[in-house]
Structure 1
């Protein structure tokens, strides 16, 4: 795939020498910033995206895109392309040595538009997002614009933010009502805000190798027609360490080798060394090395996700290990959470409490992901003799004892966080035996007339009415049968009603429709302080 560029050009405000006030400036043109820009543009909010580069980075980097993220992409018009071009999978196998310890299925039920996981290299996902952005008249994507200064109006923060930007033609200032920092783990925006970024940096190093097998090669029984996630603890071809294997698009396979904390990084970078490692893993099958990298990782987050009129998202706000695919997925879900809230505030439909709720919910999600990520890393890379013995015992037991299988941790794969304590949710006023509670993601289901429920929600507030039609001025209502698959997934009976947020999170639910209760729950979900 030819990757699009976004070359530098002088803006009108540079030529005029006078800052032009923008509703939103997004710093960073990675998957998170581009997703947020598309989301805001779909809500008729003009956006400027600035990035210190003018092109997409190379290599696989983030490669696993989870179902919730694919649903976000689908709403923005790129989900079907990502799912089509990537490798769909839902099953995984975990090995101890060469013996299988256990296997799993991420989506054992049918009836969802999007698959459990799609593997597609980050550069190809970014290419899809960049092209969509470049077609959107409400988005201006500016390459080679480096943020070097940030100042909020001290006397009246409501007056906005001044950004000082360095370009090939020198410095100039931009003005914004709101700024979204989506500029990665080394975020200049976070640094300029003086925010702490606390957590744990892991000393282990890992090697990524993207390889292409010779035609017809199937070492270790790899089957491109049935892609799975394979993870080895202490395999004979890489003793004492772990290895992760994923199928990728374009006939590539990604292999992550744990190297240990004492690895000689310069020696491990040498192509000959990488070739030997891969050859041992592939039983000597012919292959081509397409790309490689060595990484360390950290689990940490910023102390705040909102400082006045500046909001943090993605790696600028939080970092996790790559085990479980929680980094890029949680960042895209940050953008999904933020976009509708920021648009509602800009249009006067919601109070600024929405943005405090963004911070509350996504800090909760970050802590959830960091917890999962840290536990996975501790299991994959035990630090003491006792923890190594405990891991071996768990792996030995898991091969023949079901109770031990959940204890094996090769990375709990990405799922959206349930915001049960969200200030935007209206608690249940009656018992529900099943279905997603307020703060939970709304599940998908096929519609009788064709299409999918999450497609029909389409990024706005909606009321799901099961069994009979109801009306409420100013609120879209979807009437669904009380005996269909959607009703079963929502635990609904005839008369049940769900209020769903624009990011497909349940805001409230009732066993019977009450217009006043729905209006009150809608006001709460919009952050109106009088509720």
Structure 2
């Protein structure tokens, strides 16, 4: 019997399974599909701190190597560049701020690793039709090609995506929020755009999509991902038949030859479940929260859900922490989802204003931003993903010398403080801090100035298994260190 059943074999479920197996937890992954469906680029922007998580399971370096690296995000209004954001690295990470690679390729790399992981098994054609739990475990009922089957495990992690309505209903969860009226046309194009290969470009109200937006991302293999905001009644088939799609593309690529690799139309939603833990069942990724894609907070936040859930489930299953540790998964990751919804909702109000007041505000900001640096800070084309800060978590030990972290300035990261992801700096033995923190052991890592010179002399930094700083205490106070270590893993103070 597996110790954990993961429902959904997308990147979130794959990551969770690999992290659980790495910590010695047998896991079975169930997916309703008959096999992998590598169609379209889908989620393409993989953030540095997520690549770090994948590095812990042996995939991160390949994602970074195959992806297109970019460090600059340019924003335009009509034909004028308003500003460019350069992304910094406070910890000298071996990975770029972002790597653009298709979700399909990421899934292939994760599948390859899963196939070499003895404690993880993937079962396709297993459509979950029911989840029931009791004091001892969870029973999952599946529809399979050979008939109905049931599986049982102490815990279940649901990573089944946005359409997991039946599972949410079984758990008594709503999925409240809204869906935006405007549609977005997405095309993967193979073409040559000199100078565009390593930059993200966002256009407000260009002459070739008046009144709306266009986003262009470079991707591997001489390809580009282009997103056009289009009318609520946009008809893709009609656009193709009339030649409108070709004209739309030509307005970007000119007379250069191009090839359409994939195209689709989406409406984006903002939704959130009220609970990300229901007894012995945890929810992660799009089945728990949906955000608009501007800022690349969907897949990236889902992978961070997976890491948070995996280390806590492993600690419980290995007897290192009590079952109550799992409640902190809901507290921490629900707060992260609220932050992502807050940020992306503000972006969508700017991108798709619904009231005359919002439209007037946007016109004023964009007009002033051409010459006024202060106005440029108000232009919202999507605040790019960043790791959440667990300053208010019950696992975090506050320190008055390090005030609680909040949202950092755009393009920057929070300085080291309790709750913040530790900068990825070198250790004295040649390893890196985050890799050291993520070792598959029960003990949190304690850093001091002797092991990592970036740690101020006289301080001890207690790191959680997901490399977040749990506490900064006096290095000469062993009782304070011990208390912070226990608190970081959900153990009683005594």
Task: Give 1:110 deviation, angstroms.
Answer: 7.1
TM-score, normalised to structure 1, is 0.87
Question: SS in structure 2 opposite 1:22?
Answer: coil
Question: Is there any run of 5+ residues in structure 1 with no aligned partner, and where?
Answer: 1-20, 469-478, 482-486
Q: Does structure 1 conserve the Cα–Cα contact (< 8 Å) formed by 2:446 and 2:461? A: yes
SS of 1:250's equivalent in the other structure is: coil
State which of 439, 454, 463 in structure 2 corresponds to 1:500.
463
The alpha carbon displacement at 1:108 in A equals: 5.9
Matches within 5 A, 1:99-498: 99-107=80-88, 111-153=92-134, 157=135, 159-187=136-164, 188-213=166-191, 217-218=192-193, 222-224=195-197, 227-268=198-239, 272-428=243-399, 430=401, 435-447=415-427, 449-459=429-439, 460=441, 461-468=443-450, 479-481=451-453, 487=454, 492-498=455-461
Q: 1:282 to 1:385 in 2, by over 3 A?
A: farther
| 1:75 has 2:56 as partner | yes
For structure 2, list consecutive stretches of 5 or more residues without a partner in the other structure. 405-413
Deviation of residue 511 (structure 1)?
Answer: 3.5
**In 1, Cα distance between the equivalents of 2:459 and 2:351?**
45
Structure 1 equivalent of residue 409 of structure 2: none
Contact 2:12/2:306, CA 8 A, preserved across alignment: yes
For the residues of structure 2 that align with 1:36 and 1:421, how far apart are their CA atoms? 24
What is the alpha-carbon distance in structure 2 between the residues aligned to residue 49 and residue 525 of structure 1?
28
In the aligned structure 1, how far is the partner of 2:343 from the partner of 2:429? 40
**Worse-matched range after superposition: 232-241 or 106-115:** 106-115
**CA 1:508–1:95 in structure 2 vs 1: closer, same or farther (change >3 Å)?**
same
Could you say which residue in structure 2 is the equivalent of 1:62? Answer: 43
Distance in 2 separating the partners of 1:500 and 1:87: 31
Specify the SS of the correspondent of 1:103.
strand
Q: Contact 2:89–2:97 (CA<8 Å) still a contact in 1?
A: no
Q: Tell me the CA shift for residue 427 of structure 1.
A: 1.2
Number of residue equivalences: 481
Within 5 Å, give how 1:5-44 maps onto structure 2.
21-44=1-24
Q: In structure 1, what is the Cα distance between the partners aligned to 2:447 and 2:139?
A: 46
Deviations 1:395-453 (A, max 9, x none): 12222222112211000000011111001111116567994221111111234553432
**Deviates most, 190-199 or 242-251:** 190-199
Taking the aligned partners of 1:24 and 1:462, their CA distance within structure 2 comes to 23
SS of the equivalent of 1:524 reads helix
> 1: CA distance between counterparts of 2:190 and 2:491?
54
The residue that corresponds to 1:88 in the other structure is 69
Q: CA deviation at 1:348?
A: 1.4
2-side partners of 1:124 and 1:322: how far apart?
Answer: 19
Give TM-score, length-normalised by structure 2. 0.93
Query: 1:464, CA displacement in angstroms?
Result: 4.1
Further displaced range: 505-514 or 294-303: 505-514
Q: Which residue number in structure 2 is paired with residue 4 of structure 1?
A: none
1:105-150 deviation digits (Å, cap 9, x = unpaired): 1226572111100000000001001110111000011011110111
- Structure 2 equivalent of residue 527 of structure 1: 490
How far 1:265 moved relative to its partner? 5.0
State the partner residue of 1:517: 480
Q: Secondary structure at the match of 1:278?
A: helix
**Matches of 2:125 and 2:381, distance apart in 1:** 39
Residue pair 1:201, 1:299 contacting (<8 A) in 2 also: yes
Cα contact 2:196–2:218 (8 A) shared by 1: no
Would you say the 8 A contact 2:483–2:493 is kept in 1?
no
Query: Structure 1 residues 240 and 144, CA, compared in 2 at 3 Å: closer, same or farther?
Result: same
- Where 1:350 maps in the other structure, the secondary structure is coil
CA contact (8 A) 2:402 2:418 kept: no
